[in-house]
């Protein structure tokens, strides 16, 4: 790879240059040192026949004195011209002289060229610094889109997996770009805009590149935030320039990533008038109305916040079609894992279906990171191949954090953590329909986790019943219940469990209508963002009275208390198993869920024999 070297222009170069010029002038002057003498001394030297020759200008006389001996150096002199009868004296004493007009051209040129050069040098230096800090300083009105040719992209639908529905939606886009005449023959036209909507990491940008790669057309890629500038009007100018270039390179694809940075609904900013972002959005709307889709320019965009987009963007004639790129299901995760596992050169025997079952909720970027983490772990452990053990460790790293074996925990705290985690596991094994327990560990991970219980769902779930939600709350409270039952005291270790359990209970009451006292009413207030997660865009207080708020709080409290009592009852019935499993966990630090299941089975057999 060829590395270009960029030489920086520094102001010190010009300072050094000026000093060199001054030193050179001083040196030249020292070589031919000129002595300034009074005019009277000049007249006296003239009368004494000591002057060899002179040069007369308008204001002064310069000349050369005769050396007194052959070994003496020549002496130059200058004096001010005073007497207009100097020529008569020179003639009287037979002195050779000449009169010249002093030229000031060089001096005049240097007097204005040196300051100009110095100013230009400083200007270039400042511009260089500004462009280094902001690369687009000199191209404010030009778009910053990166243009990719087919050879540069190198991505096709073979590199995309787990989003088959979205791929099917995009196939007619590719067919139009390849065979536009087929659609024009029927009088049909392609949708002007195509919006990819979905959670972060699901492969929206990858899909857009795959469309460009399959259709063999130029691909203009730019982020929505790159349109917004400090200088008013620059964003709109970039939009115009982007569409001009796209029309010149048609057929092509324009892809705007993170469209919500540019297309947020007008009026959200709370600032009256047309700010820079709104002007840019207005220009985008105008350009989308103006260009002809039949020439083959297709506008694609991606966002994970469609609810904040301006309605004018989503009307027919602009972004006509919205394609959902959702989280992959189990089959989709298997397909994505197959794509990424092909890149692993030393891969052992891996059950992809089991691995996909262990990664519910993960998107494409998460699965790519999982495969890479497992590969790095295999290299670190000096394994000959990447095995199942490394993938399980990678999953634990991603979900629970880095294992911290050096964190010192006193024996009493280790015992509390062991019973706490086994409380979760035993309640989970005792409640029908809960996710199977995969592993229990008391090795600290992440920032605050002193241990954790890993449950692996057997299938993807899209609906949950009231009984299942109550079971989840009981499992979360199992750790606190085990602490109270064994130690007659409780610790701060249940902080995260209580937060999750309260969230589930509050959602049951406010969102799902699963409380008899509050009824089938939605109390949530404003709906949260589609892909923003559980805590964003949330209105903490809906439109209901204080009495209803107290009723909701009471129902949440009742749900928590009831499930806590259930957890205590289940653990009390299995205290012997809890004690045996705790001794094993304290000794080995990690036990499998199958070991706990065997202990429960043995205990049940013993109770039946009695």
pLDDT at 244 over 90: no
Q: What is the secondary structure of 134-195 as a DSSP string?
A: -TTGGGTTS--PEEE-HHHH---GGG--S-HHHHHHHHHHHHHHH-HHHHHHTT----SEEE
pLDDT for 553 equals 93
Which of 434, 413, 558, 426 has its CA nearest to residue 481?
Answer: 426
- Pull the structure tokens for residue 495: 């902080």
- The reply to whether the predicted model has a pTM over 0.75 is no
Which of 239, 254, 241 has its CA nearest to residue 173?
Answer: 254
Structural element, H or E, at residue 453:
strand 452-455
pLDDT at 561 over 90: yes
Banded model confidence at residue 397, pLDDT cuts 50, 70, 90? confident
Query: Is residue 421 annotated as part of the catalytic site, yes or no?
Result: yes
Q: Over pLDDT 90: what percentage of the chain?
A: 19
CB 518 within 8 A of CB 555: yes
Structural element, H or E, at residue 299:
strand 297-303
Residue 442 CA to residue 415 CA, distance in Å, equals: 9
Q: Give the domain 32-102 fold.
A: 3.30.720
Given the DSSP bridges, would you call strands 146-148 and 219-223 parallel, antiparallel or unpaired? Answer: antiparallel
Which of 209, 180, 297, 303 has its CA nearest to residue 249?
Answer: 297
Residue 477 CA to residue 460 CA, distance in Å, equals: 24
Check residues 69 and 147 and name the one with the higher pLDDT: 69
Residue 152 CA to residue 457 CA, distance in Å, equals: 41
Q: Tens digit of pLDDT for each residue in 439-484?
A: 898 888 766 678 888 888 877 777 899 999 999 999 999 999 999 9
Structural element, H or E, at residue 321:
strand 319-324
Q: Is 84 annotated as a binding residue?
A: no
Q: Give the domain 146-324 fold.
A: Rossmann fold (3.40.50)
Q: Is 200 annotated as a binding residue?
A: yes
Cis ω before 251 (30° cut-off from 0): yes
Instruction: Supply φ then ψ for residue 300, to 5 degrees.
Output: -120, 150
Which 8-state DSSP code applies to residue 335?
H
pLDDT for 490 equals 92
Q: Give the domain 411-609 fold.
A: Methane Monooxygenase Hydroxylase; Chain G, domain 1 (1.20.58)
pLDDT for 26 equals 62
pLDDT for 42 equals 78
CB 253 within 8 A of CB 298: yes
Same fold, 32-102 and 330-400: no
Which 8-state DSSP code applies to residue 37?
-
pLDDT at 421 over 90: yes
- Pull the structure tokens for residue 245: 């270039």
CB 596 within 8 A of CB 421: no
Domain 330-400 carries which CATH code? Answer: 1.10.8.60
Q: Is 424 annotated as a binding residue?
A: yes
Q: Is 38 annotated as a binding residue?
A: no
- Pull the structure tokens for residue 284: 């985008």
Candidates 169, 396, 421, 483; catalytic one? 421
User: Chain-wide mean pLDDT for the chain?
Assistant: 79
pLDDT at 315 over 70: yes
**Which residue ranges make up each domain of the chain?**
32-102, 146-324, 330-400, 411-609
Q: What is the 3-state secondary structure (H, E, C) of 213-233?
A: HHHCCCEEEEEHHHHCCCCCC
pLDDT at 40 over 90: no
Banded model confidence at residue 112, pLDDT cuts 50, 70, 90? low
Q: Is 451 annotated as a binding residue?
A: no
């Amino acid at each position: 790879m060829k590395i270009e070297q960029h030489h920086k222009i520094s102001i010190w170069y010009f300072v050094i240059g000026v000093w060199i010029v001054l030193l050179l002038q001083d040196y030249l002057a020292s070589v031919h040192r000129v002595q300034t003498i009074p005019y009277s001394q000049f007249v006296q030297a003239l009368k004494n026949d000591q002057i060899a020759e002179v040069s007369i200008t308008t204001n002064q006389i310069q000349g050369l004195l005769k050396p007194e001996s052959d070994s003496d150096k020549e002496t130059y002199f200058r004096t001010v011209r005073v007497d207009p009868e100097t020529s008569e004296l020179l003639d009287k004493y037979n002195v050779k002289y000449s009169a010249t007009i002093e030229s000031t051209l060089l001096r005049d040129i240097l007097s204005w060229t040196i300051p100009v050069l110095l100013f230009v040098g400083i200007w270039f230096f400042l511009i260089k610094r500004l462009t280094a800090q902001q690369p687009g300083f000199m191209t404010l009105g030009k778009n910053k889109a990166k243009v990719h040719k087919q050879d540069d992209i190198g991505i096709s639908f073979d590199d995309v997996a787990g989003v088959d529905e979205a791929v099917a939606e995009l196939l007619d886009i590719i067919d139009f770009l390849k065979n536009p005449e087929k659609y024009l023959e029927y009088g049909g036209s392609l949708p002007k805009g195509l919006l990819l909507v979905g959670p972060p990491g699901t492969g929206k940008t990858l899909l857009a590149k795959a469309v460009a790669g399959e259709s063999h057309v130029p691909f203009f890629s730019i982020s929505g935030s790159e349109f917004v500038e400090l200088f008013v009007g620059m964003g709109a100018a970039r939009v115009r320039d982007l569409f001009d270039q796209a029309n010149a390179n048609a057929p092509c694809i324009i892809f705007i990533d993170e469209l919500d940075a540019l297309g947020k609904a007008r009026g959200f900013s709370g600032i009256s008038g047309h700010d820079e972002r709104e002007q840019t959005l207005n220009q985008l709307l105008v350009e989308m109305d103006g260009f002809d889709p039949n020439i083959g320019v297709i506008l694609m965009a991606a966002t994970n916040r469609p609810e904040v987009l301006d309605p004018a963007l989503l009307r027919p004639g602009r972004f006509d079609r919205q394609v959902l790129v959702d989280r992959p299901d189990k089959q989709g995760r298997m397909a994505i894992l197959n794509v990424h596992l092909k890149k692993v050169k030393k891969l052992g025997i891996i059950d992809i279906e089991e691995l996909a079952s262990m990664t519910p909720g993960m998107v494409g970027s998460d699965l790519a990171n999982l495969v890479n983490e497992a590969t790095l772990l295999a290299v670190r452990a000096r394994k000959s191949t990447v095995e199942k053990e490394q993938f399980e460790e990678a999953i634990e790293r991603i979900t629970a954090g880095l294992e911290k074996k050096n964190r010192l925990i006193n024996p009493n705290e280790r015992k509390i953590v062991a019973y706490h985690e086994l409380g979760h596991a035993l309640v989970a094994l005792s409640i029908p329909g809960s996710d199977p327990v995969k592993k229990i560990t008391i090795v600290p991970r992440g920032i605050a986790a002193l241990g954790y219980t890993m449950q692996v769902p057997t299938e993807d779930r899209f609906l949950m019943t009231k009984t299942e939600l109550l079971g989840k709350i009981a499992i979360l409270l199992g750790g606190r219940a085990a602490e109270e039952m064994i130690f007659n005291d409780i610790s701060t270790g249940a902080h995260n469990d209580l937060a999750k359990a309260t969230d589930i209970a509050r959602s049951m009451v406010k969102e799902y209508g699963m409380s008899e006292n509050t009824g089938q009413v939605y109390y949530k207030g404003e709906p949260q963002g589609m892909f923003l997660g559980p805590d964003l865009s949330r209105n903490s207080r809906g439109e209901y009275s204080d009495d209803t708020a107290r009723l909701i709080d009471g129902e949440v409290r009742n749900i928590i208390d009831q499930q806590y009592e259930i957890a205590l009852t289940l653990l009390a019935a299995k205290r012997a198993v809890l004690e045996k499993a705790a001794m094993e966990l304290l000794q080995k630090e990690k036990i499998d869920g199958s070991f706990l299941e065997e202990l429960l089975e043995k205990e049940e057999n013993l109770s039946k024999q009695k």
